[in-house]
Amino acid sequence: MASRRALVLDASITLSWCFEDEVEAYADTVLEGLEVGEAIVPSVWPLEVGNALLVAERRGRLSEAESARFLALLEQLPIGVEHEPLGRVFGRVVELARRCSLSVYDASYLELAMRSGVPLATRDERLLQAAAECGVEVFPGEER
């Protein structure tokens, strides 16, 4: 991630952009940050986002067309997917999940932020707590 300000984006922020009842100022600030910066995400992110949209469709919360529109919008954002080798997932990510009482999915966001040295953008309270414990900066770099 060259000269643009980077951040690790998690699915909780991404999905809040889709659902009107989850709109919040912090998520909007993250989205605005992508106007001048870029996001990196672990390889689990597209699966988490896609699954959440599919579940929302099945529950009548979104139409298939609304999901497709949202996914097309996401493709337009400066989001790069980091593909983790199995050794890292089975080693460092699982150990971080164990140590911080996180799911392996959430630990993958934290590990990516730690490894890349960029702030983490999340709404997940447990992940925020783990980031603080590990000394990981939270986007936008100030108290939320």
pLDDT tens track, the chain, 144 positions? 344 689 999 999 999 999 988 888 999 999 999 999 999 999 999 999 999 999 999 999 999 999 999 999 999 999 999 988 888 888 999 999 999 999 999 999 999 999 999 999 999 999 999 999 999 999 985 444
Number of domains in the chain: 1
**Within-domain flag for 139:** no
What are phi and psi for residue 8, nearest 5 degrees? -95, 125
CATH of residue 114: 3.40.50.1010
In the three-class reduction of DSSP (H, G, I as helix; E, B as strand; rest coil), residue 6 is classed as strand
Question: Is 84 inside any structural domain?
Answer: yes
* Within-domain flag for 102: yes
In 43-139, where do the E strands start and end? 79-82, 120-121
Evaluate whether residue 122 is within a structural domain: yes
pTM for this one? 0.90
Strand intervals (E) in 14-107: 37-42, 79-82
Domain contains 144: no
Domain around 35? 5-134
Is residue 35 included in any domain, yes or no? yes
Reading phi first (left if > 0) and then psi (alpha if -120 to 50, else beta), residue 143 is in: beta
Structure tokens belonging to residue 36: 């001048």
pLDDT of 70 reads 98
90: nearest Cα among 104, 72, 80: 104
**Structural domain includes residue 19:** yes
Structural domain includes residue 140 = no
